[in-house]
Amino acid sequence: MDNPSFDLVVIGAGPGGYTAAIRASQLGMKVACVEKEDALGGTCLRVGCIPSKALLDSSHLFYETQHAFAGHGIKLGSVALDLPTMLSRKDKVVAGLTSGVAGLFRKNKVEDVRGMARILSPAKVEVKSSQGIRELNTKKILIASGSEPIPLPGLPFDGKFILSSTEALSLPEVPKRLLVIGGGAIGLEMGSVWSRLGSEVLVVEFLDRLVPAMDVELTTALRKSLEKQGMRFQFKAKAESAKIIGNKVIVQVASETEKTAVECDKVLVAVGRRPFLSGLGAKEAGVEIDPKGRIVVDAHFCTRVPGIYAIGDVIAGPMLAHKASEEGVVAVERMAGVAGHVNYLGIPNVVYTHPEVAAVGLTEEEAKAQGHEVRIGKFPFLATGRARALGDTEGFVKMVGDAKTDRVLGVHIIGPRASDLIAEAVLSIELAASTEDIARASHAHPTLAEALKEAALAVDKRTLNI
């Protein structure tokens, strides 16, 4: 086979890699992007963010038909679940987006190379596929190979009873009892999907609360909401081992005081993800890996080996698609000598439960720990006309302002469409806005976004609608 030459070879076509490849091409580089899977888009598009959101949206509608429609004056006969159609709709959403990435590569003249990449040197990447072995010569390499689920010792994934998020997206029938290990984003999102579709869901969480990285008030409110929806939680507990007997799984769960045997039909292990570097040859090429298995990079996303760069889930920081994309763009801009910058304080974090939870910037605790004197403003969705019209009034906005400068330090939202509402807060952090700026900005009435304006007014104790 030929040995083509590139300015940049990107390894991995997830949101980090594909976005970096497109931006590099815009900047005039000759780019190839190597992907080992059949479809482009990485974990996010194939087996992560997108399929989970498709199922969350479908299962939410299913839940609403039974619990909310009557209140709107819509009477239905009996509501039945057609799980195969729900799953194939999810697959269609995924296929549309992954093939869209291939289209973006064609449009942007990114060479779409399929196969398993291995770094032979900072100037050579080997690609192995069913078509054979190919070598790509390159000036620079960007590692964007993503992450994989962490298995639990004692509960190894088997894909049938002990599942990772990937299998939990395609269960052919609703499990009667689902045990979820880990009360983070994946555990709560996939737990919500199957709970809404009829499973009895128990979440076992090691710490004393859900989504530990988020504001305590939000996660406490989230727990109460999810309990109302029927999910159960066991905190300060961990799963130690599992035994499969017939079609059942018996899991030994240990808390501080006791050990119990929990019987269920499926177990979802969602205790975090780890960088995926197998077979990549990064370590052999001299790239430094930290004790947590992450590639060490400098402020330019360059590894210890000149010419080899890394972004996204393989480096430190939150494992989020949008964080990886921002880093990918900035990494190639720096390679091209263009000024680029990732503002990590402005990276939002969202959990797509119902209500949704979304946050950006510092929590109240973090702000205080960093020495800020803070002013807090809170506003409940119940006091907004739009939430009432929607019949979706749970939750609130909490704004953390600096008492001296009035600068917005953090915004934390639990409520309807928090995932979309957080964008205004992200912009306020990006533009170093004050809470007064948000309080003075006109927000269309009636909208959910008015809760942000009112929370900003609440910082100065001058709310108008409560």
CA distances from 14 to 21, 48, 155, 269, 309 (A): 10, 11, 28, 23, 16
Residue from 152, 264, 295, 408 binding ligand NAI (CB under 6 A): 152
Residue from 180, 204, 268, 422 binding ligand NAI (CB under 6 A): 204
Residue from 29, 239, 331, 452 binding ligand NAI (CB under 6 A): 239
How many angstroms separate the CA atoms of 431 and 362, rounded? 15
C-beta of 136: minimal distance to ligand NAI in Å? 30
Residue from 4, 272, 317, 380 binding ligand NAI (CB under 6 A): 272
Residue from 13, 320, 324, 359 binding ligand NAI (CB under 6 A): 320
Examine residue 191 and tell whether it contacts ligand NAI (CB under 6 A): no
Among the listed residues 67, 72, 341, 445, the single catalytic one is: 445
Question: Contact, 417 vs 381, CB < 8 A?
Answer: no
The pairing of strands 408-415 and 396-402 is: antiparallel
Nearest Cα neighbor of 286 from 317, 313, 307 is 307
Query: Which span sits near ligand NAI by CB under 6 A: 32-40, 81-89, 169-177, 317-325?
Result: 317-325
Examine residue 206 and tell whether it contacts ligand NAI (CB under 6 A): yes
At 440, which helix (H) or strand (E)? helix 435-440
Q: Which of residues 166-185 bind ligand NAI (CB under 6 A)?
A: 181-185
Query: Which span sits near ligand NAI by CB under 6 A: 55-63, 95-103, 312-320, 456-464?
Result: 312-320
* Residue 31 phi, psi dihedral angles, 5° rounding: -125, 140
How many angstroms separate the CA atoms of 281 and 314, rounded? 14
Residue from 14, 187, 191, 355 binding ligand NAI (CB under 6 A): 187
Nearest Cα neighbor of 134 from 142, 126, 124 is 126
Examine residue 143 and tell whether it contacts ligand NAI (CB under 6 A): no
How many angstroms separate the CA atoms of 450 and 455, rounded? 9
At 117, which helix (H) or strand (E)? strand 116-121
Q: Which residues are CB-neighbours of 175 under 8 A, at least 6 positions away?
A: 194, 199, 264, 265, 266
Residue from 23, 46, 140, 273 binding ligand NAI (CB under 6 A): 273
Known active-site residue 300: no
Return the number of the residue (234 or 447) whose C-beta is nearest ligand NAI: 234
Query: Could you tell me how many residues of this chain bind ligand NAI (CB under 6 A)?
Result: 26
C-beta of 69: minimal distance to ligand NAI in Å? 27
Examine residue 275 and tell whether it contacts ligand NAI (CB under 6 A): no
Examine residue 302 and tell whether it contacts ligand NAI (CB under 6 A): no
Nearest Cα neighbor of 183 from 351, 397, 361 is 351
Residue nearest to ligand NAI (CB): 184
Examine residue 154 and tell whether it contacts ligand NAI (CB under 6 A): no
Return the number of the residue (270 or 451) whose C-beta is nearest ligand NAI: 270
- Please give the structure tokens belonging to residue 180: 């979820």
Query: Which span sits near ligand NAI by CB under 6 A: 193-201, 275-283, 315-323, 338-346?
Result: 315-323
Q: Which of residues 329-358 bind ligand NAI (CB under 6 A)?
A: 350-352
Examine residue 46 and tell whether it contacts ligand NAI (CB under 6 A): no
Return the number of the residue (26 or 234) whose C-beta is nearest ligand NAI: 234
- Please give the structure tokens belonging to residue 387: 């939430």
Nearest Cα neighbor of 20 from 147, 145, 144, 148 is 144
Return the number of the residue (239 or 448) whose C-beta is nearest ligand NAI: 239
Residue from 205, 364, 406, 424 binding ligand NAI (CB under 6 A): 205
At 129, which helix (H) or strand (E)? strand 124-129
C-beta of 253: minimal distance to ligand NAI in Å? 9
C-beta of 189: minimal distance to ligand NAI in Å? 6
C-beta of 239: minimal distance to ligand NAI in Å? 5
Examine residue 51 and tell whether it contacts ligand NAI (CB under 6 A): no
CA 354: distance to chain centroid? 15
> 44-79: b or e for each residue (b if 16 or more CB lie within 10 Å)?
bbbbbbbbbebbbebbbebbbeeeeeeeeeeeeeee
How many angstroms separate the CA atoms of 10 and 145, rounded? 9
At 239, which helix (H) or strand (E)? strand 237-245
Catalytic residue IDs: 445
Query: Which residues of the shown chain bind ligand NAI in the complex (CB under 6 A)?
Result: 152, 181-187, 189, 204-207, 212, 238-239, 270-273, 318-320, 350-352
